[in-house]
Structure 1
Amino acid sequence: QEDDPETEDVDESEEAPTRLAPGIRVKLNNAFFQENILDKEGASELLSQANFSEFFRGVHLSVPDDILLLLDLTQGNITINYNYKSVTSSTDSTVIDNERDFVLYFIRRDSSTGTAIGNAVNSFVNEAYPAEIENSMDTGENASKIYLKGGAGSYAQIKLFDESGGAEIINQIKQGNWIINEANLVFYVDRSTLDAAGTQIEPSKLYLYKDNTNTSVYNQFLETEQDFSDGNITNYDGGLNEENGKGQSYKVKITNHINDIIVRDSTNATLNLTVTSDIRITATNKAMMANGEEDNIPVMSTVNPLGTVLYGSNNLPSGMEDKKLKLEIFYTKAN
């Protein structure tokens, strides 16, 4: 086709290149947006934001189970590029061809408060747990194995001082004038179960938090700014200890939590244990549990695909008694 001689020639090599952040860009169905957006001009669906939100409920994204993606929806959008004609003014009927972009944002953040504007829901579809695992959960008894799994997985609950004699133990520590130097929970990895499952990537850290407040057992303000920024929380640890490339145990420091109970008379709260993708992020979101009830689950657990099996505190296999879940308390007895 012959070039229009009246068109201004532009040397694109001399223009500044357009740079876009790394991401996924997909061409969508033009006919869908023509019918449901552009052709709705003047219709009630576009009369107000409330009407539009009721009409256009959102976008559904799905991926195969073997693809692990963590999308920043605050950077996601749909850009509708369209052409239209207009006249110069009410007194000048000259027709002008125009081109414009209209952007539909997925999630936005308020620039002043950081609050998310919009809604996003994750739906996880998992295979059912084997009967052996399913039957060992929520039995009301101390478990022989602790099963942790991110995503739509599972977490464990731990009661440090149970109802039977727990108050007496706390009072004994108080009356003994113990000065708690360090307290740890030590979890041992069930290597036989993991090895039987084949090659597994193990969670690098575990996250322990209080069930009644959904807050971490560690105190961020006891850390240096640099350590916390690096994810090196010295008063918590929680990292995987390995031998020959295989996980052996996790140690979680709970010194501050024990001192809160003993010294500051804080509630002896049930503790929840999960996997995590970032120990620094402690936010929780509502999730629908298997029993149909809502609960608050750490965000960094729901986005983590990994899992592990730990030994519990009851009925361990013969020869594995030394792998029992341990509460270590190192103390000095005041005179």
Structure 2
Amino acid sequence: MKNTLKALKFSTAFLLILSSFIACDKDFSIIESQVLGKGNTNFTIDSLNIPITAYNKKLNSLKINNLISANDLNSALLGVFDDPEFGRTTASIIAQITPSSFDPNFGVNPVIDSVILTIPYFSRPTGLDGDDVTYTIEDSLYGDPSNEVTLTIYRNNYFLRSLNPNSTSSAQNYFSYANGDINTTDNFALIENNVINFDNHKSDILKDTTFTPIPDVVKTTVGEGDEAVTTDSEPAFRAHLYKDFWASTIIDQEGTSVLSNPSNFNDYFRGLYFKAGTVDDKGNMVLLNLASSNANIVMYYTSGEDDTRIQSTYSFSFSGNILNTFINDYITLENGDSDLGDETIYLKGTEGSMGVVDLFSNDDDALEDFKRDFRATDESGEYITDDTTGEFVLKKLINEAQLIIYEDESLTYSGDEDYHKYDRIYAYDIKNNTPIIDYFIDLTENESEPYNSFFIHLGQRDSDQKKYKIRLTEHLNNILLRDSMNTKIGLTLSTNVNITTQAEILESEDDVTAIPETAILTPRGTILHGSNENVVPSKKRMELQVFFTKPENN
């Protein structure tokens, strides 16, 4: 099926590209252009720079439950990350768990041997060490890997409902509250107009520890002696949880209604609260794969008479609601100047900031002037449309359009010149909360290496010039040919440009109603030069470059 979908995608993209060439030929024919003429051509290639307005959008109240980072997998950040330009973000997790079965029979005289929590990191194999596969987690680890993080795992007593009571057909979303207005120690979320403080709903401590994310293979041995079987699995966070809690909370509840069905269990055991902190005021942050089949809590126990005891397991998965809460203790971010544009643009995840680019906002007539410059008109000045397609006929054809973005050269990089090397800027259509049309016709998707994916449209950071290029060719053609009104582009950082899922903003009061979910799961940030012509030098100013072809008689 995956190969079929890829083939279909290629065919669709090929047809789109082919149709654009046909459209080009058609447009030139309409304006009576000929291939031969003076100097073997009667058209020239030219370019222009279109001033745009780029400004900051402060991000508040973002959807933080069940976020997706790759292959439709629920993901969450855990730990403490210090960005050299922005400051500190602390990420914690609230997660429901689901038993592997209901109405369990734990046997006679059950005794818990151990309770092991496992949550894989996002990792990729790098080679072999003898017969063992080696892995790296560098793509999902932020900060110094040698630093430790404190982690306290609590029982959460706040009920996470799945359905919105105000709309029986809608899922209940939870939203971020990370700006520290109340305090910078507790973890909060919003639900409609209510603020939830999860620190007011924590109870039993299931584990109090420190950890450092490492890329070691996890080896699990089941059985003893000659019957022991060892299996290897991907690198993961693992912890032995306190046994007494599970004995009283699960084993002793055998035969009661709380273990009889999912609804009763979710009301009885409302989940876990993973609260992160620093060690010696340092830390790091890692992206966890809670949707992995290896993400679980396994309770190992024995039961039976003394001479016939049997080893058994009872497990829990993370298949319910998963919330990623943030505490941001960094520079003040504000909404920008949508009229004049801003001097600098701040891109920062985990309820931070994004950039908004208005392609035609410099004056009220900018968009209309652009259309009149490129569209063909009749004797009365009205735009000409094609009788067959209904599209507008063009007198100039856009060959390439690029949004040129310069990084602020004053970034410190925390002393590491490669700090921003793999940054990707993701551009999306703010009006429809979808990728731009250029994204869909870019054939360079790379599922295994997101950094090398969609690089024709989204480009890659130019390390020498500290510059990005975002291709908007078909987006502009869509405006000219089909009168699209999608003139505002959103800019965010992204850890994985293959993922286009959007996260709602609670009760947004402007054009930006959602942002890419991967932007929320990007703890790092960067600073760009903006578009304000009064303060940004022309050579560093964000602008739209358009290369076009026109007949010589125009």
Same fold, judged at TM 0.5 (above): yes
SS at match of 1:240: coil
Q: Which amino acid aligns with 1:19?
A: D
The aligned counterpart of 2:462 is 241
1:190 is aligned, of 408, 419, 422, to 408
1:271 aligns with 2:489: yes
When the two chains are superposed, the root-mean-square deviation of aligned CA atoms in Å is: 3.1
* Residue 18 of structure 1, CA deviation: 2.9
In structure 2, C-alpha distance between the alignment counterparts of 1:248 and 1:102, rounded to whole Å? 53
The aligned counterpart of 1:328 is 545
* Contact in 1 for aligned 2:360/2:487 (Cα 8 Å): no
2:357 is aligned, of 158, 169, 181, to 158
* Contact in 2 for aligned 1:149/1:307 (Cα 8 Å): yes
1:57 aligns with 2:270: yes
* Contact in 1 for aligned 2:439/2:457 (Cα 8 Å): no
Aligned-residue sequence identity (percent) comes to: 29
* Residue 96 of structure 1, CA deviation: 5.3
The aligned counterpart of 1:91 is none
Map 1:1-335 onto structure 2 (within 5 A): 12=225, 17-64=230-277, 66-75=283-292, 76-85=295-304, 97-107=309-319, 118-130=320-332, 134-135=333-334, 137-141=335-339, 142-162=341-361, 164-172=364-372, 173-175=374-376, 177-192=395-410, 194-195=411-412, 199=416, 201-202=419-420, 204-224=423-443, 231-243=452-464, 248-286=466-504, 295-317=513-535, 320-334=537-551
Mark the runs of 5 or more structure 1 residues left unpaired by the alignment. 1-9, 87-94, 108-117
Per-residue CA shift, 1:156-183, capped at 9, x if unaligned? 1111112711331242122362211000
Q: Which amino acid aligns with 1:74?
A: A
Mark the runs of 5 or more structure 2 residues left unpaired by the alignment. 1-222, 377-393
TM-score by length of 1: 0.78
Q: Which amino acid aligns with 1:30?
A: K
* Residue 122 of structure 1, CA deviation: 0.7
Instruction: Report the number of matched residues.
Output: 298
In structure 2, C-alpha distance between the alignment counterparts of 1:139 and 1:150, rounded to whole Å? 20
* Contact in 2 for aligned 1:220/1:228 (Cα 8 Å): no
With over 3 angstroms needed to count, the CA separation of the structure-2 counterparts of 1:234 and 1:97, relative to structure 1, is closer
With over 3 angstroms needed to count, the CA separation of the structure-2 counterparts of 1:217 and 1:36, relative to structure 1, is same
Q: Which amino acid aligns with 2:548?
A: Y
In structure 1, C-alpha distance between the alignment counterparts of 2:356 and 2:434, rounded to whole Å? 14
Q: Which amino acid aligns with 2:346?
A: Y
* Contact in 1 for aligned 2:444/2:454 (Cα 8 Å): no
Pick which of 225-234 and 213-222 moved more: 225-234
* Residue 39 of structure 1, CA deviation: 1.1
* Residue 190 of structure 1, CA deviation: 1.4
Per-residue CA shift, 1:61-117, capped at 9, x if unaligned? 23346312011101211111223338xxxxxxxx9533321110013xxxxxxxxxx
* Contact in 1 for aligned 2:398/2:546 (Cα 8 Å): yes
In structure 2, C-alpha distance between the alignment counterparts of 1:257 and 1:288, rounded to whole Å? 28
* Contact in 2 for aligned 1:188/1:249 (Cα 8 Å): yes
In structure 2, C-alpha distance between the alignment counterparts of 1:237 and 1:164, rounded to whole Å? 29
In structure 1, C-alpha distance between the alignment counterparts of 2:271 and 2:502, rounded to whole Å? 23
TM-score by length of 2: 0.49
* Contact in 2 for aligned 1:124/1:151 (Cα 8 Å): yes
With over 3 angstroms needed to count, the CA separation of the structure-2 counterparts of 1:299 and 1:226, relative to structure 1, is closer
Q: Which amino acid aligns with 1:273?
A: L
Per-residue CA shift, 1:170-212, capped at 9, x if unaligned? 42122362211000000111112x1397657225220000112
SS at match of 1:50: helix
SS at match of 2:299: strand
In structure 1, C-alpha distance between the alignment counterparts of 2:416 and 2:459, rounded to whole Å? 22
With over 3 angstroms needed to count, the CA separation of the structure-2 counterparts of 1:35 and 1:128, relative to structure 1, is same
In structure 2, C-alpha distance between the alignment counterparts of 1:316 and 1:215, rounded to whole Å? 32
Structure having the larger proportion of residues in strand: 2
Q: Which amino acid aligns with 1:215?
A: T
* Residue 16 of structure 1, CA deviation: 5.1
In structure 1, C-alpha distance between the alignment counterparts of 2:247 and 2:228, rounded to whole Å? 32
